[in-house]
Structure 1
Amino acid sequence: MNKFPIPTIPQEEWANCELGVIIHYNLETFHPDLPQNKWKSSPDVMTADTFAPKEVDTDQWMEAAKAMGAKYAVFVANHVTGFAMWPTKQNKYSVVGSPYLDGKADIVRDFINSCKKYDIKPGLYYSTGCNGYYGINDEMLNDTQTETYRNYIKVVESQLEELWGNYGELFEIWFDGGVISLSQGGPNVLELIRKYQPEAICFQGLKEQTHNLRWVGNERGEAPLNCWSTSTKNTCSFGGTEEDRGIGKGNPEGEYWIPAESDMGNRSKQASGGGWGWREGEEHLVYKPEHLLDCYYNTVGRNSNLLLGMAIHRDGYFPDVQQFNEFGRLVNEIYADPVKSTSGTGNKYELDLTELTYIKNISIMEDIHYGERVRDFTVTVETENGMEEIFNAECIGHKRLIKLEKKIKKAILTINQRVDTVIIKDFTLYA
């Protein structure tokens, strides 16, 4: 039997989730006209008391996420400003310094509780490499051995202990642009994760970690046609500003299972914060649900999870509920009418229909519990005009979703190249 990587249990669970949300709601929301390059260096302007929502309704956030089909959610607990969305004991640059609830708010706690209420797996984002409050800017070369930087690292480690140790089990931990390792002068993230969150999925985590994810290489909601779950590296330290198709594609011969997560805002790049944030008067920049459906085909349908942003209104609620409701409805429609399916092992799978039937979608799922074994496959259909090859690619992985929209009498999945016995978990035609 060939030796190749297989997912850990948390990585397999993550793949089964397919859809998640990431929520950017922080101090920047209250300074929409401040350029992004000032977020990392303006604590004198972006003071704690300027975080002043009317009512933060995390239940409403998760209700919308649930309607969209999200199985997990990541909340930005500390973005590049350094402002903490929980009552950290390390400084006053947090909700403690806000007039909201007289400084007694804990939005991280509210978020976690709402996730539990709506049966959504919780995750947290924390910026380790950039903090405007402490003058640490990841766009500049920082001497990690200075007293200032070493003191900052102590704060980071203490805040991570608070986040990872006080709010229960987390499903995903998000490192934006990766994390500086201990050997490079960064925080002791590895020890803290092993102590507090050993089963958490880590987006762009350290290479020594077990359950890592990589970035897909863009923020458009588009995975490569062949997006392998394996790579030659068990880490990915790239941010969301540069294109890197190599990272997105992965490597079928890679020794590490590190699947790609595709993150994108629910508003276009022209919106506040590059589409991640809310600004008044930008309703026209909310993506159409049909556009999000295309992104679904190009991410979930290409062996990558889709992590969709939620731009939260300054007053504390999610304004784009209609977008999420309609997108969720469109996704559900894909799977609403299964016509015929099969599964099993081998190199050929046939679905015969008794008569010409209009088929909208074809879904193929490899059983990734045993790794990715397919290296090339073809889908052929029989129409009223005879046999026709309609799709060919290399990777199936967790899911390959093919939009067909044709009348057919038969569909055949042929495995042309493989590295071991192929195990097809599901091959289904949907009307």
Structure 2
Amino acid sequence: MRKYILPVVAMVSLSAPARAQKENFVSLAPGTSEQQIIQKAANIVPTARQLRWQQLELTAFFHFGINTFTGKEWGDGKEDPALFNPTALDAVQWVKTMKDAGFKQVIITAKHHDGFCLWPTKTTDHSIKSSPWKSGKGDVVKEVAAACKKLGMGFGVYLSPWDRNASVYGTDAYNEFFVKQLTELLTWYGKVDEVWFDGANGEGPNGKKQVYDFNRWYKLIRKLQPQAVIAIMGPDVRWVGTESGKGRRTEWSVVPTNNLDQDQIAAGSQQGMLFKPQSDMTGSDLGGRDRIATAKGLVWYPAETDVSIRPGWFYHADQDEKVKTPKELMQIYFTSVGMNSVLLLNVPPDKRGLINESDVRTLQQWSRMRKELFKTNLLAGAAITCNNGVNTAALLDGKDATYFTTRGGDTATTLVFKLKQPRTFNAFSIQEDIRIGQRVEQFSVYYKQDGAWKPFVQETTIGYKRLLHFDPVTANEIKIEIESSRLNPTIASAGLYFYEW
């Protein structure tokens, strides 16, 4: 649905710390050994804004605008604003639908590529103030922001850099035009928790393409909404690389950055974070040892996995019977949140201005499935043994800010869980405490049958959360082996669960 220009991260040169420090970035001086690089990578951590974002797990996208009424996915900027006229718009219904489904934050498409603005901007008449909805006095962004505040949900805005309506697109004046639009969104509606840019960069009405002044935009966001994460074409969160809802098996939040000759951007942002279109952040392993061995810098730059609940990103009536099933959404949950990512699920309001009944129904059923699945951790009450472990109780205390680790410099360990009775399970969950860093490179999980250990999970990274689904297993002894870790592993939780999908 979106045309992406993929980012590369750039860093200013910093003096190497004399000891391990908890930063979200680090530069690597020439001659830094592989062992030193691994140690530094293991000590990189998220910023406060990145940690909050990761803990959301589920964020909703509301694609809504003139395309909703034309039936298009990408408008051409020539649409008549009179077409925009929802008959029953209810932003509280949108936000409550997502909250009831377990979501913690929503993002509204304040302006898509067609340039039509869902707020009464002072920059253009191509907006809802030229529509018949509420006699031109309406403000969709305001209503969504108010609904989020009322229901205790995070609020984010998507503002398309590509504008197929603005006559100044493709000139220096457009960056000023865009800054005015961004300023309105960041100052008119209270707290903004996420600002979402894609990399679409086509031609404007004059046939020209725009050179985007991303660095100026980042500085403005840091100044006006310093707690907001800047996502996809931004320094805080990157695109996972597909719109399938499936992340990568090996997902490192710590990735290399190799351009150290750029100026530092806004204070409080990641140091010198810039973007270049030739970057490729879509490989199968972005942060493995071979990838970071030649890095000039390392940065905490986690992935967001976006997908639509429908085949399209905007509402189309002929897709009411093509909404993803609860089972499909559960699979996506395991391949997004369960692969060290945050799921951004698009749920587009219909022409009435409501989340359609088809979408509401599948969201409700999916929410019930997740609650039922994770209701009981079958490892609870198990006796845990570990020869080199510290604080094994943290694994089952239900808190992600406490963690099990190992003594001394041990980077491998074995944990044996003995249940009070045999239990049947088909899902496994494990988390690292990413406040300490992301460290585990390889782990396996076994069950004991007839005196022999048999593997049922053999995986690579963990990160914030790893979820695995498999054929049912029945056992009363489970073994987790951390086979490789960059420094002492810091495991926040482990769980076994059962649910018939």
Question: What is the TM-score of this pair, normalised by structure 1?
Answer: 0.87
The Cα of 1:385 is off from its aligned counterpart by 7.0
Q: 3-state SS of the aligned residue for 1:368?
A: coil
The Cα of 1:178 is off from its aligned counterpart by 7.5
Could you say which residue in structure 1 is the equivalent of 2:426? 360
Q: 3-state SS of the aligned residue for 1:429?
A: strand
Which of 112, 123, 127 pairs up with 2:145? Answer: 112
What is the 5 A alignment of 1:139-150? 142=170, 149-150=171-172
> What letter matches 1:72 in structure 2?
Q
Gaps of 5+ in 1: 143-148, 269-274
Could you say which residue in structure 1 is the equivalent of 2:252? 228
Which of 408, 414, 425 pairs up with 2:492? Answer: 425
C-alpha distance in structure 2 between counterparts of 1:155 and 1:223, whole Å: 35
> What letter matches 1:90 in structure 2?
T
C-alpha distance in structure 2 between counterparts of 1:35 and 1:16, whole Å: 31
Q: 3-state SS of the aligned residue for 1:364?
A: strand
Q: 3-state SS of the aligned residue for 1:350?
A: strand
Higher relative contact order (CA 8 A, sep 6+): 2
Report the structure number with the largest CA radius of gyration.
2
Which of 272, 286, 306 pairs up with 1:250? Answer: 286
Could you say which residue in structure 2 is the equivalent of 1:299? 336
> What letter matches 2:307 in structure 1?
M
The sequence identity of aligned pairs, in percent, is 28
> What letter matches 1:306 in structure 2?
L
C-alpha distance in structure 1 between counterparts of 2:106 and 2:276, whole Å: 21
Could you say which residue in structure 1 is the equivalent of 2:399? none
Task: String of CA shifts for 1:70-105, please: whole Å, max 9, x gaps.
Answer: 111111101111111111111211111111111111
Gaps of 5+ in 2: 1-19, 21-38, 203-209, 258-272, 293-297, 381-392, 396-403, 407-412
The Cα of 1:230 is off from its aligned counterpart by 1.6
Could you say which residue in structure 1 is the equivalent of 2:195? 173
Task: String of CA shifts for 1:85-132, please: whole Å, max 9, x gaps.
Answer: 11111121111111111111111111011112222111110012x112
Could you say which residue in structure 2 is the equivalent of 1:6? 45
What is the 5 A alignment of 1:34-113? 34=72, 36=74, 39=75, 41-43=76-78, 46-113=79-146
Mapped contact 1:178–1:205 kept (Cα < 8 A):
no
The Cα of 1:411 is off from its aligned counterpart by 1.6
Could you say which residue in structure 2 is the equivalent of 1:134? 166
Task: String of CA shifts for 1:167-203, please: whole Å, max 9, x gaps.
Answer: 12211110112799xx955262022112111221111
> What letter matches 1:134 in structure 2?
A
Residues 84 and 399 (structure 1 numbering): CA distance in 2 closer, same or farther, change over 3 Å?
same
The Cα of 1:402 is off from its aligned counterpart by 1.7
Could you say which residue in structure 2 is the equivalent of 1:408? 475
Mapped contact 1:18–1:300 kept (Cα < 8 A):
yes
Mapped contact 1:215–1:236 kept (Cα < 8 A):
no
C-alpha distance in structure 1 between counterparts of 2:321 and 2:247, whole Å: 26
Could you say which residue in structure 1 is the equivalent of 2:405? 345
Residues 172 and 100 (structure 1 numbering): CA distance in 2 closer, same or farther, change over 3 Å?
same
> What letter matches 2:463 in structure 1?
G
Mapped contact 2:110–2:118 kept (Cα < 8 A):
yes
Q: 3-state SS of the aligned residue for 2:379?
A: strand
C-alpha distance in structure 1 between counterparts of 2:127 and 2:347, whole Å: 21
C-alpha distance in structure 1 between counterparts of 2:277 and 2:302, whole Å: 15
The Cα of 1:35 is off from its aligned counterpart by 6.7
The Cα of 1:238 is off from its aligned counterpart by 7.3
CA RMSD of aligned residues (A): 2.4
What is the 5 A alignment of 1:326-337? 326-337=365-376
Residues 384 and 327 (structure 1 numbering): CA distance in 2 closer, same or farther, change over 3 Å?
farther
The Cα of 1:283 is off from its aligned counterpart by 1.4
The Cα of 1:394 is off from its aligned counterpart by 1.7
Mapped contact 1:267–1:285 kept (Cα < 8 A):
yes
C-alpha distance in structure 1 between counterparts of 2:416 and 2:156, whole Å: 40
C-alpha distance in structure 2 between counterparts of 1:331 and 1:135, whole Å: 48
Residues 185 and 244 (structure 1 numbering): CA distance in 2 closer, same or farther, change over 3 Å?
closer
Mapped contact 1:25–1:312 kept (Cα < 8 A):
yes
The Cα of 1:252 is off from its aligned counterpart by 3.8
